[in-house]
Structures are given as C-alpha cells and as structure tokens.
Amino acid sequence: MQMVEKDSKEILLTKEGLQKLEDELEYLKSTKREELGERLKQAIAFGDLSENSEYEDAKQEQAFVEGRIIQLEQTLRYARLMDDSAANANIVSLGSRAFIKEKKSGREIELMLVDSLEANLKEKKISKDSPVGQAILGQEVGKTVKVDAPSGVLEYEIMKVERA
C-alpha cells in the first residue's frame, strides 16, 4: 500500500472502500493492540529478553501494526467519498462500472474504476492509474481505446457504463 504524503491531494474512495479502511483502523487500534499487549506481557514473563524470540516477534508485529495505524490515519485524513452525481452516464469516470470488449478476442470484461488504494482484481476493481484505467478514464460509450501490453497493443471498445 502506498504512503500518503502531507501535501498530497485528496484520495477519492467508494463508500465500501472508505468503510473498509475505517474498519481496519478500528480493529488495529482496539483489538489488535490489546492482543499484542497480552502477547508482550506473556513474553516478558518468560524471563531473559535478550534471547526471547516470543518477545522479539511481538515487538516486531507491534511496530508493524503501529506503522499501519499511522498509514491508515494519514490516508483517511485525505480520503473523500466519490461523488458522481454530476458525471455523464455515458463517460467512464472514477467509481463507474465499465463494460468493455477486447476487439481481437471478443472477450467482454466488467470492471470498476477506483483509486489505487481500492484496486482489487478479484472484485473487478482496477486502478485509475493502471494502463487500462488510464485508457478508459474519461472515454465515452462506443469509443475504442488502445492499451500497450507486454503481448502488444490491445484494443478495447467501451460497451456500457453504469454508476455504482
């Protein structure tokens, strides 16, 4: 996951994506911190900390969790919900679901265009910064776009756009 700098611009997220980050932060701050505190207490009870692998493991995990908490807080500071109410229904925009067809194979693909923080291929969410995302962003239904891929140039036709 990328680190957000203080002078970066806002991060546009779906409602689901924003909720996921907020839930993770809450879990880490409450449940995970508490679990790590207990692990540290148990490890300290084993005695000599210089050769205590349980203690070292717990300290390393604690450092990771605290770093992740900072990262999530910074991300959420700049996060905003997407507002596509003014978006044209026939143009691919952030948060829209696009149905595209690969010209060569005829294969149809459904995807949602999101910020890189939310990208997840299993959920058919691709980053606006990906080659396909960059090619279709701002394009309208019926338009054919070209994407440079390792296997050569791929052409996709935008078949349909839906608002999420």
* Chain Cα centroid distance, residue 69: 16
pLDDT tens figures, 101-141: 999 899 999 999 998 888 999 999 999 999 999 999 999 99
Domain ranges of the chain: 11-81, 96-163
Say if domain 96-163 classifies as CATH 3.40.640.10. Answer: no
Reported pTM: 0.64
- Architecture field, domain 11-81: Orthogonal Bundle (1.10)
Tell me whether domains 11-81 and 96-163 share a fold: no
pLDDT tens figures, 16-74: 888 999 999 999 999 999 999 998 888 888 777 777 788 888 889 999 999 999 999 99
Element (H, E) at 100: strand 96-102
